[in-house]
Chain A
Amino acid sequence: MRNVWTIASREYRHYFLSPVAYIVAFLILMLAGTLFVFQIQRTQSYIYQGYYPPAPTAASSVINPTAFMMLFAAPALTMRLLSEEHRSGTIELLLTAPVKDWELVVGKWLGAFLYMLTVFVITLIIPIVLNRLVEPGIDVKATLAGYIGLILLTAAFLAIGTAFSAMFNNQFASFFATLIMIVILWWMAAWPANAIQNAASFFNYLHAYAHFDSMVKGSIALKDIVYFLSLTVIGLFVGTTAIEIRRWQ
């Protein structure tokens, strides 16, 4: 476990020196901030015209845009994790060090996950400010559920990225493989459900967005949690197996 922590904290610190991490944080905060201000402005202009629409929520102004950005942020943050080690040859050093394969993979993933948590903590300022602007305040519990969904989703997407990073030497191959995988899960997994009636519930279950969306709407189901944790564990396991296979090849 200590090895996991050592690798994770090294990776975490590394992100603060990496331009990709700053670009990710910048884009997330820029998008969420812009949408937040735009929604407040639009609602205010409706009030000015005599309409009284519901106030923007934490989900619409920060959680949903951040989740959307994760589609691109997860491949960008993880593409380097193990691919870089393969390319530069430092993986040999890591593999001969007294570190188990799973510790290496989990440590790398945890570093990226902690980095994203840090960015999410910064985004919390938006719901806090929004709470002051809305009467009688935002739905704090629903916001919490939304953030839980966002955290689970991030864990899963980063694990998928870590797995592809362990498979490919090339960072861009890792980036695009992760992006395609996430886009399929996020948008396309439920498409066959309409065509194949017999397996509709199977394909609907695969659809990551549906699981995330129900959490954002304030309903936390066991199946949603198990779904995202499963994706995370699958990612880490496949990543570990990929490293193992490289070892004996």
Chain B
Amino acid sequence: MMAKKRSRKTTIKNYAYIALIVSGVALLASALFGLFKLVLFLDLYTLQNDQWVNTALYISLGMILVGLAVYALIVPEKVRDFFAGRQGRYGSNAAINLIAFFTIIVIANMWAYAAPVEDLDFTEDLQHTLAPETLDTLRLLREPVHAIAFYTQESTQIRDLLENMENSSNGKFDFEFVNPDTNPARALQYEVTSDRTIVLVMGDRRESVTYPTEQAIVNALMRLMNPGERIVYFLTGHGEHSLEATDEAGLSRLQSTLIGKNYVLRTLNLLAENRIPADAQALVIAGPTQTLSAEEVDLIAQYLEQGGSLILLSESPLSTGNTDQADPLAAYLAANWNIGLNNDIVIDPSLDQVLIAVSASYGDHPIVQNIQTTNTYYPVARSLTIGSETADVQTTTLVSTVNRAWGETNLAEIDQGYLQFNAGADTPGPLVLGAVSENPTTGGRVIVFGDSDFATDSLFDVYGNGNMIVNAIDYAAGQEEYITLTRSEPINRRLSDDVKQGTILILGAAFICLLPLLIVVGGVAAWLMRRAQG
């Protein structure tokens, strides 16, 4: 009986290696499935259903363990020998220690990364702390909001801001960064056309922010929470720029940006419709090459009296060739809204191409608030004249040129390339390129630019141009900032006036010569001491 049992045991031991082979094959399979999983993870290959890869990976990992366990059960003494050996013992100890240690480190970092702990703001002017209005808005969120930041290169500043917002939102706000270059499908899905755009998604509604700042994100959140259709009409019939056209003179970039901001855009032919629809939050006249009729201007006047908003992107009659035609719209705006349209072409010596007017200064107005430090460019523009302020209309200059610019009234001079300021005939600089007039009683708003090309596809992405027109439409449609953040202004730290050339010489002597020299002397002294000690 004993002999029989012994022989059976021996037989099983003889086959122990099969368990090791099973483990080895499972290890190979695990490595292959793991590699495949990595390929899927890196998006190098996509599968409709990758669930089976996980299952196969788990089964193969399980088989490694089962194989090893069976081997250990059949020949425990061999396993003991392996681990009890000096190399084996130390080696496995070190391996286990390293694995345990790295696991702890990884868990600690994952915890620290996700922990809802607010960052400490170590600036005296609290530049990393959210404004109280932001915290209130986040607290008011009823539905979860997901922010998708489309950045070709991630911005740490925006990540910090979004992280701060996520931590203060009670789980109602989260975000992700998406690179539109490597993931164009996502960008297309959310109609993102420019880099550094944040799309906020709440349910099936969304808002895009093209100039992400704390203020802009909070206002987009407010708009998400207060939905309502925003309809803007674009006038047609006078040679205006086309909304859909994707050529250089088209407005397709403006159109897609406005649609991303939940606007509904419609065209309007006043001669055909004979009225401005009641749902129009703003009417845009983008670069008419023909003058509007007196009847059309009457309709616009009625609409503005009822609190409507008009954006006129005007072109100089010198460039459209309408010098001999009366312009009833220009006459109406000058008489009722304090904005006169001059029949000239702006000559701006800021650039070599003197026909391109450049923004030299901006006014103090919500439309130009976020582009104060960015230039805007207006090719072949006309200048505006701001009339004297009347009791019921307030007019603000939005953008003006440098003092050296002038409004040339003689087309022949431009054609001949002989440009000179003629006092009396030409408009002296600085010239107004854009202005806004408001009637606080009726709520009517009129925004006029002396150029229309700046908003077209060829120039929309040039510096602040796109923002200028989008901000203007936002303002006209009453979509200006819901809230202004009451953040303390950053402390302005300036070099003291006491710092003169003499001070700098002393500083240079002390910090470039003396201090490093002291270190050299110390080093030589130490070297000598060491030599003396042998």
Q: Report chain B residues within 8 Å CB of A90.
A: none
B134 to chain A: closest CB distance in Å? Answer: 16
Given known pairs A17-B526, A54-B492, A136-B493, the reply for A195 and B182 (CB within 8 Å) is yes
The residues of A that contact B41 with a CB separation of less than 8 Å are: 198-199
- A residues contacting B by CB (< 8 A) are 16-19, 22-23, 25-26, 29-30, 32-34, 36-37, 40-41, 43-44, 47, 52, 54-57, 122, 125-126, 129, 133-142, 144-145, 190, 193-201, 204-205, 210, 213-215, 217-223, 225-227, 230, 233-234, 237-238, 241, 244-245, 248
Interchain CB contact (< 8 A) of B493 among A18, A139, A145, A225: A139
Residues in chain A near residue B112, CB distance under 8 A: 222-223, 225-227
Contacts of A234 in B (CB 8 A): 101-102, 105
How many angstroms from the CA of A79 to the CA of B108 in the assembled complex?
29
Contact B499 A139 (CB under 8 A): no
CA distance A19 to B515 in the complex (A): 17
Q: Hey, which chain B residues are within 8 Å of A57, CB to CB?
A: 493
A204-B154 in contact (CB<8A): yes
Q: In whole angstroms, what is the CA distance A194 to B94 when docked?
A: 36
CA distance A7 to B181 in the complex (A): 53
* Max chain A Cβ within 10 angstroms of own Cβ: one of B125, B494, B519: B519
List 20 A-B pairs, Cβ < 8 Å. A16-B522, A22-B526, A23-B523, A26-B520, A36-B511, A37-B504, A37-B511, A40-B495, A41-B508, A139-B123, A142-B123, A194-B182, A198-B41, A198-B43, A204-B154, A219-B121, A220-B120, A221-B119, A237-B98, A244-B94
* Bound: A76/B200 CA distance, A: 49
CB B276 to nearest CB in A, in angstroms, measures 47
Closest Cβ–Cβ distance, residue B1 to chain A (whole Å): 47
Residues of B within 8 A of A238 (CB): 98
Q: Is B529 an interface residue (CB 8 A)?
A: yes
The residues of B that contact A140 with a CB separation of less than 8 Å are 124
B188 contacts chain A at the CB level, 8 A cutoff? no
Q: Which of A34, A44, A135, A141 contacts B122 (CB 8 A)?
A: A141
Binding site secondary structure of chain A: helix
Among A43, A139, A141, A222, the residue within 8 A (CB) of B117 is A222
- Among A22, A55, A141, point to the contact of B124 (Cβ < 8 A): A141
Which A residues are in CB contact (< 8 Å) with B153? 194
Among A133, A196, A223, chain B packs the most CB atoms within 10 A around the CB of A223
Taken residue by residue from 515 to 530, chain B's Cβ proximity to chain A (1 for < 8 Å, 0 otherwise) reads as: 1100110110011011
Q: How far is the CA of A233 from the CA of B51 in the complex (A)?
A: 37
> Considering the chains assembled together, what is the distance between the CA atoms of A16 and B88 in angstroms?
43
10 closest Cβ contacts across the A-B interface? A22-B523, A33-B511, A145-B122, A226-B112, A218-B123, A221-B119, A248-B90, A220-B120, A219-B128, A218-B122
Q: Are B516 and A30 in contact (CB under 8 A)?
A: yes
Given A197-B183, A200-B179, are A218 and B495 neighbors across the interface (CB < 8 Å)? no
Query: Given known contacts A22-B520, A34-B511, what 18 new A-B pairs fall within 8 Å (CB)?
Result: A29-B519, A33-B515, A37-B504, A44-B495, A55-B493, A133-B498, A134-B494, A144-B122, A200-B179, A214-B119, A218-B121, A218-B122, A221-B117, A223-B113, A226-B108, A234-B102, A245-B94, A248-B90
By the criterion CB–CB under 8 Å, are B527 and A19 in contact? Answer: yes
Give Cα A145–Cα B177 distance, bound, in whole angstroms.
27
Contact A40 B507 (CB under 8 A): yes
B160 on the A face (CB < 8 A): yes
* Partner of A241 from B97, B178, B515 at Cβ < 8 Å: B97
Measured CB to CB, the closest approach of chain B to A239, in angstroms, equals 12
Asked if A205 meets B499 with Cβ closer than 8 Å, knowing A33-B515, A218-B127, the reply is: no
Q: Does B86 contact A (CB under 8 A)?
A: yes
Given contacts A22-B526, A134-B494, contact A33 B152 (CB under 8 A): no
Min C-beta distance of B259 to chain A, whole Å: 26
Query: Which chain B residue lies CB-closest to A194?
Result: B179
Chain B residues within 8 Å of A133, by CB: 495-496, 498-499, 503
Is there an interface contact between B504 and A135, defined as CB atoms closer than 8 Å? Answer: no
* B495 and A47 within 8 A (CB): yes
Least Cβ–Cβ distance between A118 and chain B, in angstroms: 12
Which of chain B's residues have a CB closer than 8 A to the CB of A17?
A: 526, 529-530
Q: Which residues of A contact B494 (CB under 8 A)?
A: 52, 54-55, 134-135
Closest to B106 in A: A230
Query: Given A129-B507, A220-B122: A197 and B178 within 8 A (CB)?
Result: yes
Interface centre among A199, A219, A225 (most CB of B within 10 A): A219
The CA of A33 and the CA of B86, in the complex, are separated in Å by 55
Contacts of A137 in B (CB 8 A): 493
Q: Chain A residues near B120 (CB, 8 Å)? A: 145, 219-221
Residue in A closest to B101 when the chains form the complex, CB atoms = A237
Contact pattern, B 25-42, Cβ under 8 Å of A = 1, otherwise 0? 000000000000000011
The closest CB in chain A to the CB of B120 belongs to A220
**Measured between alpha carbons, how far is A142 from B503 in the docked complex, in Å?**
25
B87 at the interface (CB under 8 A from A): yes
The distance from the CB of A232 to the nearest CB of chain B, in whole angstroms, is: 11
A248/B530 in contact, CB under 8 A: no
A244–B523 Cα distance when bound, in Å, is 35
A194 touches B152 (CB 8 A): yes
Q: Are A22 and B109 in contact (CB under 8 A)?
A: no
Write out the residue numbers on chain A whose beta carbons fall within 8 Å of the beta carbon of B272. none
A100 to chain B, nearest CB (A): 14
A52 vs B495: C-alpha distance when bound (angstroms): 9
Q: How far is the CA of A33 from the CA of B510 in the complex (A)?
A: 9
Asked if B504 and A40 sit within 8 Å, CB to CB, the answer is yes
Query: Is the C-beta of B491 less than 8 angstroms from some C-beta in chain A?
Result: yes
